[in-house]
Structure 1
Amino acid sequence: MIGTSLYFLQEKLFFFPTVLEENYVYEFNYGFEELNLIASDGAKLNAVHFKVENPKGVILYFHGNAGDLQRWGTIGEYFVEKNYDLLIMDYRTYGKSSGKLSEAVFYSDAQLFYEYLKGDYNESDITLYGRSLGTGIATYVAGKNNPKQLILETPYYSILDVAKHRFPMLPIEKLLQYKFPSYKFIKDVECPITIFHGTDDGIVPYASGRKLFTAASLSKTTFVTIQNGDHNNLIEFDLYHTRINEILL
């Protein structure tokens, strides 16, 4: 019974979008442009693009599995404060974005936004940042392109790996439609990678992040362990700030 529910309800178990009205007005502390890109199947993908004077570069940020751009834009302002332009998209069914979800469109939609940025920035100025769910998407895009660097906050080896941890008694491999195999994508990443993970993460196990690290090119990858860090509070630790400031010079 539980297995059947997991198969048919897995989108409700893994994705927790909040929906915004079309006329919702975003409010942030920094200047931004709201934009909509149209995917090849007609889906509308809503995003906010923060812009500063004389930016050090631009960060393409792929957010976690809950909320919408109002929340994630506020979180992302941390990077705007560091004098970076920042582009954050809402996945399909999140916020004002439309369209049908599938694992394939997570990747193709992300690539669409990367291509959009290439119209105004050199790839050497693009930093990819993934948080939680977004780490697999960011890693995929990094492996297909040549960005400056890849930053992963609380990443997973694969969603399958996390699901096995959460549902150890179920035949997860047969049930799960969404796999997000970051361990495969990371082998194709040629830019520097920085991974942040807390030892007390109750959502994505620390061990899953460590497994991903071992799948990467170790000469190009730095793993930052946040002792006692949980899934959503790494920003409360001095070590996180110190290392972010080092890599976002």
Structure 2
Amino acid sequence: MILKRLLIIGSSLLFVYILGAIFLYALQEKFIFLDGELPADHLYAFDSKHEEINLTTPDGANLNAIHFRADSAKGLILYFHGNRGNLTRWGKVVERFVKLDYDVLVMDYRGYGKSRGERSMELLLKDAELFYSHALSQYPENEITLYGRSLGTGIASWLAGGHNPKRLILETPYYSLASVAQRFYPIYPSNWALRYNFQSFKYLKTAKCSVHIFHGTEDEVVPYKSGKRLHESIPNGQSQLITVEGGQHKNLVDFEAFRSAIQEILK
């Protein structure tokens, strides 16, 4: 009788576990990409000089971006944004770099803003490559800074591993996206189930440029130890870890330690 009850309980728990795994696998894009589309005729409004550009991918997707122009640019920052919001938000975020005399090119991923097209990890990386090629058509490679924030740190790291930009800046990065998912869903094998497992630590093994990592000690989304682990995986002397005491995932810019270090790197 007891054995029968244990079998029923065990079967029920297994069913719930499998059901949860199917649910998370099927809906993982909903958790990762908090996009927000914009109508095709939306007009952007920013204080800095800018132009809207659209690139078409080999599979026919339209990728929308904003190219900000400084009056006397030191180079270009190719910026890959986080998982929440579109260019109406991120355009305002990157304008601070225009004030530091840098041009900035920031794109929206597929499904974000005015960008369209089916999404996959492979396609997102190919899209990043397309924008890097576009940047190279206008700037020498030694004047290109790659910048990734949160979700975008994996994409920027992938580009750095395959090219030779001037530098790579990572704001609140992860060791791998699976390591972040494992934190939120510890009972599921994220390495196997995650279709978007950007592996920054792996990409940066072949990076030749300097790497500057910013992470807050109170980051509630990507733990500080994830950024520190990524820093420690990079050969000695190539990576700089800037620890922002008390910094969280979205507020590093509020800290003088972050602002002064960014200015020093980009001077």
Fold match (TM-score > 0.5) = yes
Counterpart-to-counterpart distance in 1, 2:200 and 2:191: 16
Aligned residues: 249
Trace 1:127-138 onto structure 2 (pairs within 5 A): 127-138=145-156
For 1:85, the equivalent position in structure 2 comes to: 103
2:254 counterpart of 1:236: yes
Trace 1:120-131 onto structure 2 (pairs within 5 A): 120-131=138-149
Deviation at 1:188, TM superposition (A): 1.0
Relative to its length, the structure with more helix (as a share) is 2
| TM-score under structure 2 length normalisation | 0.92
2:169 counterpart of 1:151: yes
Q: Which residue of 142, 147, 164 corresponds with 2:182?
A: 164
Aligned partner of 1:69: which letter? L
Deviation at 1:176, TM superposition (A): 1.4
**Higher normalized contact order (CA 8 Å, seq sep 6+, divided by chain length):** 1
Counterpart-to-counterpart distance in 2, 1:172 and 1:191: 30
Counterpart-to-counterpart distance in 1, 2:127 and 2:207: 19
Counterpart-to-counterpart distance in 1, 2:152 and 2:192: 23
Q: Which residue of 20, 23, 27 corresponds with 1:2?
A: 20
For 2:12, the equivalent position in structure 1 comes to: none
2:140 counterpart of 1:113: no
Deviation at 1:165, TM superposition (A): 1.0
For 1:102, the equivalent position in structure 2 comes to: 120
Q: For 1:119-158, what per-residue CA distance to the aligned partner results, in whole angstroms no more than 9, with x for missing partners?
A: 1100000000000000000000111111000000000000
Aligned partner of residue 115 in structure 2, secondary structure: coil
Counterpart-to-counterpart distance in 2, 1:72 and 1:165: 27
| Root-mean-square deviation over aligned CA pairs | 0.8
Q: Which residue of 176, 193, 201 corresponds with 1:175?
A: 193
Deviation at 1:166, TM superposition (A): 1.1
Unpaired runs of at least 5, structure 1: none
| TM-score under structure 1 length normalisation | 0.98
Runs of 4+ displaced beyond 6 Å? none
Aligned partner of residue 127 in structure 1, secondary structure: strand
